[in-house]
Structures are given as structure tokens and as C-alpha cells.
Amino acid sequence: GNSVTQMEGPVTLSEEAFLTINCTYTATGYPSLFWYVQYPGEGLQLLLKATKADDKGSNKGFEATYRKETTSFHLEKGSVQVSDSAVYFCALSVGGSTLGRLYFGRGTQLTVWP
């Protein structure tokens, strides 16, 4: 089946620290991979995506590389800011009869202190 496993939080960092949030997946077929972010009081919004192996998605200083050999899509940022405090969700999408549907990880709460 299709599923996503991401590291449990909460993650607490000081400003300018390096961030990694691990994400691994299982999928039927060739998935597209996504990271979504949810700021307090808001819905989820797309942070970045990658649609094929070895693609790197990037946005707002965050990066993630689609690693087919390790079925992973880890999120990284070199220097976090207080404004990055949010919940981060890894997700995958496959085609076929489930077109457009996303399978989500459980989310990782990130808190960044000044």
C-alpha cells in the first residue's frame, strides 16, 4: 500500500540551527512527493515537491531530495528562523484510481527559539 513515515516531534531548535526532518515512504508505482507546512491557525500549504527520482524540491531555504534507493524525502534547512515554527507534513501522491489523493505522515511540530 501507500504510506508515509516521518520523524516524531516535537523538534525544538535555536535560531540559525540546522534542521532535518526525516521522511520515508512506501508506494505502489512511482509517487510524487511533497512537503506541506501548517502555520498556527491555518490550513496546510505546499512547501515543496519532487516528482521523480533524484529531483530536488526547494523553497524558502528548505530543500528535499527524492531518493528512490532509500525511499526517502528528508526535509532540510541550513539556518532556521523563528518564523519557521510550524507543523511539517510529508506526503505522497500516486496516479491511477487514487489520482490527486495525498497520503500524509503524522506531522512534525517544529519550534524555533530566538
Which residues contribute to the site for other proteins (CB under 8 A)?
A: 31-32, 34, 36, 41-46, 49, 51, 89, 93-95, 99-102, 104-107
Q: Which of 31, 60, 30 is nearest to 45 (CA)?
A: 60
Q: How far is the CB of 39 from other proteins (least distance, A)?
A: 10
Give the residue with the Cβ less far from other proteins, 46 or 53: 46
Q: How far is the CB of 2 from other proteins (least distance, A)?
A: 11
Which residues are registered as beta bridge partners of 50?
Answer: 33
Give the residue with the Cβ less far from other proteins, 70 or 99: 99
Give the residue with the Cβ less far from other proteins, 4 or 80: 4
Instruction: Provide long-range contacts, Cβ within 8 A and 24+ apart, for 66-72.
Output: 66/33, 70/24, 71/24, 71/25, 71/26, 71/27, 72/22, 72/23, 72/24, 72/25
Q: How far is the CB of 71 from other proteins (least distance, A)?
A: 17
Residue that has been written with the C-alpha cell 528535499 in this structure = 64
